[in-house]
Structure 1
Amino acid sequence: MASSIVLRITCMVLISMMVSAPLAHAAISCGSVTGNLVACITYVRNPGSGPVPPACCKGISAINSAAKTTPDRQAVCECLKKAAGAVSSVNPAIIAGLPGKCGVNVPYKISTSTNCKTVK
């Protein structure tokens, strides 16, 4: 009987801690990230075709501006990391160099080897 009471009290304490804890999750989805980068695919597959399309730079800028918190930046980093690995027959340096070509300062390298957990 006493163990049942202790179990109930423990559960109530844990639930109250979870409810009162701040939510530290990203508000940016991978769908939003990839949707903003669709205009970049043609360029990264054929970088000699001309300058980076303005719509690509606009998408990079929008993603970077939307990532205001550490969880947001880490989530975006993970999405970019997956997207960089999913685009076939592309030089990884082309993808990593896109923000710079667009004049956008992304605080981490866009690469399949980036440790997104260290992004602040």
Structure 2
Amino acid sequence: MKGVVIALLVALAMVHFMAEPARAITCSDVNKALAPCVSYLTGGGAPTSACCDGVRTLKSLSPTTSDRQTACQCAKDAASRNPNIREDAAAALPNKCGVQTDIPISRSTDCSTVS
């Protein structure tokens, strides 16, 4: 009986350490992912590979509707704080990076409608 209890405790401990709980995206995550894009968003040209990596990271960090709405609001807030962000560049960013995402980067998006 003692061996069964120990085996059960070991199994529970393994499951506990192997299962990582889901973590909600934060504005810090969004800002960090999009930071390499600022020069593209304000100056034009082509986005850098670091910028596109950030867009891909942003997509991977937001698998749920709630995460995408949060990411949208964070991007919207960041764009509103920087008046030099070009709306056309922001709207084109995911496409220019070849990333299919439902997270718009715009000052005018209603993030509650993001699915």
Q: Which of the five TM-score ranges fits, normalised by the shorter chain?
A: 0.7 to 0.9
Q: Which residue of 2 aligns with 1:68?
A: 63
Give the Cα separation in 2 of the matches to 1:59 and 1:115.
22
CA contact (8 A) 2:68 2:103 kept: no
Specify which of 73, 81, 100 is matched with residue 86 of structure 1: 81
Q: Which residue of 2 aligns with 1:40?
A: 37
What pairs up with 1:1-120 in 2 under 5 angstroms? 27-48=24-45, 51-120=46-115
Task: Give the aligned length.
Answer: 93
Tell me the C-alpha RMSD between the 2 structures: 1.5
| Amino acid across the alignment from 1:43 | Y
Question: Structure 1 runs of 4+ off > 4 angstroms?
Answer: none
Q: In the TM superposition, what is the alpha-carbon distance from 1:65 to its structure 2 partner? A: 1.4
Give the Cα separation in 2 of the matches to 1:52 and 1:108.
17
Alpha-carbon displacement from aligned partner over 1:8-45 (angstroms, at most 9, x marks no partner)? xxxxxxxxxxxxxxxxxx70000011011111111212
- Same amino acid, percent of matched pairs: 40
Alpha-carbon displacement from aligned partner over 1:40-78 (angstroms, at most 9, x marks no partner)? 111212113xx2100000001111111111111110010
Structure 1 length as normaliser, TM-score? Answer: 0.71
Q: In the TM superposition, what is the alpha-carbon distance from 1:83 to its structure 2 partner? A: 1.4
Q: Which has the larger radius of gyration?
A: 1
Gaps of 5+ in 2: 1-22
